[in-house]
Amino acid sequence: MTLRLAPLPGLDTALLLQQGEILEQAALMIESATASQDEIEELRIRAEEYCVLADSGRIALVPGTGAKLRAGADELKQLIRDWRQTQQDLAEEIADERA
């Protein structure tokens, strides 16, 4: 007897892939130092919209998809917090060197 996992429905897969692309785009922008506050904020909002959509119940998603979307949005928020802290630390270091 073998067990097979059923693939996620197309909508669930599409939402998770889209959010994954947002996370990847944000990470690349941050790592390459090409990110602006506005661009990063736009990506955060887009990632959060998938969570709102999943939480609304307006579309039927497989149980667990909403939690995965929330985890992705939380991961992006942490990435942004770390990026902002790094920027702030760098600005303080530059200010200290000038003083």
Q: What are the DSSP calls for 21-33, one per residue? A: HHHHHHHHHHHTT
pLDDT digits (tens, 9 = 90+) for 13-26: 999 999 999 999 99
Sorted by where each begins, the domain ranges of the chain are 35-98
pLDDT level of residue 74 (50, 70, 90 thresholds): very high
Residue 66: both structure tokens together: 């909403």
Which of the residue ranges 12-16, 29-33, 48-52, 55-59 would you say has the lowest mean pLDDT? 55-59
Q: Which amino acid is at 65?
A: T
- Contacts for 20 with CB less than 8 Å, ≥ 6 apart: 72
Q: pTM to 2 decimals?
A: 0.82
pLDDT level of residue 50 (50, 70, 90 thresholds): very high
Characterize 11-30 residue by residue with b for buried, 16 or more Cβ atoms within 10 angstroms of its Cβ, and e for exposed. ebeebbeebeebbebbbebb
Tokens 């990470």 correspond to 27
